[in-house]
A and B are shown apart, each in its own frame.
Chain A
Amino acid sequence: MSSRAIQATRSGRTRRGKQTGWLFVAPFMVVLVAMLIVPIGYALYLSLFRDQLIGGNHFVGFANYIQLVQDSKFWSSFLRVLIFLVIQVPVMLILALVAALALDSARLHAAGFFRIAIFLPYAVPGVVAALIWGFIYGPQFGLTGSFNDLLGSDLLKPFTSTWILTSIGNIVTWEFLGYNMIIFFAALRVVPTELYEAASLDGAGSLRTIISIKLPALRGAIVIATIFSIIGSFQLFNEPNLLKTLAPNVIGTFFTPNMYAYNLSFAGQQFNYSATVAIVMGVITAVIAYVVQVRGTRQENR
């Protein structure tokens, strides 16, 4: 081996030493770049152009963003998911909390069964869940139809514009209640038993234990669950999109921001504007999630 070759090997070895760290994170970086950075970059690039069926593609600067700000369809879809968020998320999280506390209370018979039963809907894919519920909601064929027949009236109307958001909220709650319950339940499990012993020695009842020990211990988990739920609400797509075939006039093409983006690109070939919708929604979601996180942790530190 010539001296030059040895030198090369040596310097190679040192370089390798520095790069070992990069090598370990490489699989992650590859996925991060390929699956996150590149698509976001491409979406940003797309949002600055306008491609027409006639006339081709040209740079339009921020024209798509300006159009979006004035787009009443976008804002109505945004308002809809906001209303959904404000009502559905608290309902779901409170129910999940109650379920987790009940399971943790050790007073429940067959707690394991309840835990699995409540969690099970989460294991059902969203698409399948929407199909199942679409069938249940069917005013002629489904359970709703049978129930109305029994009463002899049209009491339940899940597919009318008044009730559709509630109907979807019901599906989403059913799907994600168990998931949130597991997060809360896991957080409760890590509370040291000494705390409970100390509390009972001090004469604290169940309610007092919940308020003074369990809820503070859950604060971090609640913040996490809230952030996930906010993101989920803003991304609402599967459930309304599948129910659309059953209620075409009630669920329009811009029912939620994600449906709007989807229909813009897949029905209208408006990929550029669709990318703009996606980016703006992404930014709004990130900001709101961040605010919740900051507020949540500040309360935790207090």
Chain B
Amino acid sequence: MHKRLRTIVGAALTTVAVTAALAGCSSSTGGTGGGGGNADQVDAALKAGGTLTYWSWTPSGAAQVAAFEKAYPKVKVKLVNAGTGNDEYTKLQNAVKAGSGAPDVAQVEYFALPQFALADSLTDLSQYGFDDLKSKYTSGTWGSVDLDGKLYGLPQDSGPMAMFYNKTLFDKYSIAVPKTWDEYIAAAKKLHKADPSAYINSDTGDAGFTTSMIWQAGGRPFKVDGTKVTVNLQDEGTKKWADTWNELVENKLLAQTPGFTDDWYKQLAGGEIATQISGAWFPGVIESGAKGGSGDWAVAPIPTYDGKTAVTAENGGGAQVVMKQSKNQALAAGFVKWLNSSDGSVNTFLASGGFPSTTATLTSSDFLATKPDYFSKQPINEVLKGASDSVASGWQYLPFQVYANSIYADTVGQSYANFSDINTGLKAWQSALVKYGNEQGFTVSAK
């Protein structure tokens, strides 16, 4: 027992030592401090060199860092995978709260960005003249990083929504590709009647998907002005989406298989899920996860409510931000600029299956001419570029969207589970959000 205890103490001490060493590594050395800067400082910092810590889960992260270090030999970047999405945000939030331990640069998805911006934990990159880069990016992605006149990051990728569908299945039951949501629901009924094991879509109730769909329907349920927040999950656009989607939920026309699970991939490959309304990053997911579906799938613009004007929303995607805790913000900004606007970096990112945020790439002939075998050589990027051009503007996420999404299954998810009115779930979600926001010191009102 005695010996075992000593081993435990030893292990504990080792852990402490390692943690201390890691903490030591993460603090950057030399360079200029924070506060007001200018464009020249970034170039000077890149020349002077230094050490940066970068948190990211992007598959191409290591390759991009290697290319950057080759271009700027004096800069060392320590790449850390601190978890995907929420796992990283938790650690980042803890570091912000503790006042130390945050990286210099971090990957943050658009929906989570306002939360960190509000906590005053991100560097405003407009001080380095990065405002000038606006024309390089799509308006949808720029709108996600440019909040209240401050530039909190540079867009890494984007996820304009489109409709990915199993063309073989549609042809088999001679169902026309839907252009409106009414046609989509009709197609759902026809398909499920023809083959009871096939469903038009798989949706167990996903907060990211729901907010994007509300965005497309014209709903703007979250209005944020500093710490004043209005939540109205019954506004016209939100109701429009909910009433439409109710047709699918209440009539059990959705396969309620959670996304990114083995079951989900199996149904995608096996012709049991006919469409996915998803961000433009979806081809990478389905190509690697549902190989059996190769040759069956195609992409079309997302259905609309009126069938006339093309309109879509962003679904997923994120930016790289510079943390205020960084001791070398100018250098960190230089890295972010290189990461998300240099050709070398963007191409490395594309090669790993990402969907770009830069207009130059989106309009390049190479990009548009890409014809993946999985999609029967359809030039899918033409459709996806069209989607990226028709993203509706004016959407805002909550400054506590990470939490909001975490309780989605408790509220709206219950409507899905019971095949009942989504509006009931949305109302429950709203009251939970109002309660939480007010407890956290925001002034949240429901409308």
Q: Which residues of A contact B (CB under 8 A)?
A: 27-28, 30-31, 34-35, 52-55, 135, 138-142, 145, 161, 245-250, 252-254, 263, 266-270
Contact A246 to B417, CB < 8 A, known contacts A52-B441, A54-B227, A140-B267: no
Residues of chain A with a CB closer than 8 A to B251's CB: none
A30→B13 CA distance, assembly (Å): 12
Interface-side segment among B61-69, B123-131, B399-407 = B399-407
Segment 282-330 of B: residues with Cβ below 8 Å from A: none
Q: Is B413 an interface residue, CB under 8 A from the partner?
A: yes
User: DSSP class of A's interface residues: helix, strand, loop or mixed?
Assistant: loop
* Residue from the list B5, B86, B439 in contact with A27, Cβ < 8 A: B5
Q: Is B82 an interface residue, CB under 8 A from the partner?
A: no
Cross-chain contact B413 with A248 (CB below 8 angstroms): yes
Residues of chain A with a CB closer than 8 A to B403's CB: 267-269
Residues of chain A with a CB closer than 8 A to B441's CB: 52-55
* Residue from the list A52, A135, A249, A266 in contact with B90, Cβ < 8 A: A266
Chain A residue nearest to B227 (CB atoms) is A54
Residues of chain B with a CB closer than 8 A to A263's CB: 406
Cross-chain contact B261 with A245 (CB below 8 angstroms): yes
Cross-chain contact B262 with A53 (CB below 8 angstroms): no
* Residue from the list A52, A140, A253 in contact with B263, Cβ < 8 A: A140
Q: Place the interface of chain B in its size category.
A: 35 or more
- Chain B 249-261 interface mask (CB, 8 Å, partner A; 1/0): 0000000111001
* Residue from the list A52, A141, A268, A270 in contact with B262, Cβ < 8 A: A141
Q: Which residues of B contact A (CB under 8 A)?
A: 2, 5-6, 8-9, 12, 86, 90, 93, 97, 118-119, 204-205, 227, 256-258, 261-263, 266-267, 272, 399-400, 402-403, 406-407, 409-410, 413-414, 416-417, 436, 439-442
* Residue from the list B5, B204, B256, B442 in contact with A53, Cβ < 8 A: B442
Whole-angstrom distance between the Cβ of B41 and the nearest chain A Cβ = 31
Return the 9 tightest CB-CB contacts between A and B, nearest first. Answer: A54-B441, A55-B441, A267-B406, A249-B413, A140-B263, A52-B441, A249-B417, A53-B440, A141-B262
* Residue from the list B258, B267, B416, B442 in contact with A245, Cβ < 8 A: B258
A122→B244 CA distance, assembly (Å): 49
5 new A-B contacts at CB < 8 Å, known A53-B399, A246-B258: A31-B9, A52-B440, A53-B400, A245-B258, A266-B90
Whole-angstrom distance between the Cβ of B244 and the nearest chain A Cβ = 20
Contact A268 to B436, CB < 8 A, known contacts A34-B12, A247-B258, A252-B410: yes
Cross-chain contact A254 with B410 (CB below 8 angstroms): yes
Residues of chain B with a CB closer than 8 A to A253's CB: 406-407, 409-410
Residues of chain B with a CB closer than 8 A to A267's CB: 86, 90, 402-403, 406-407
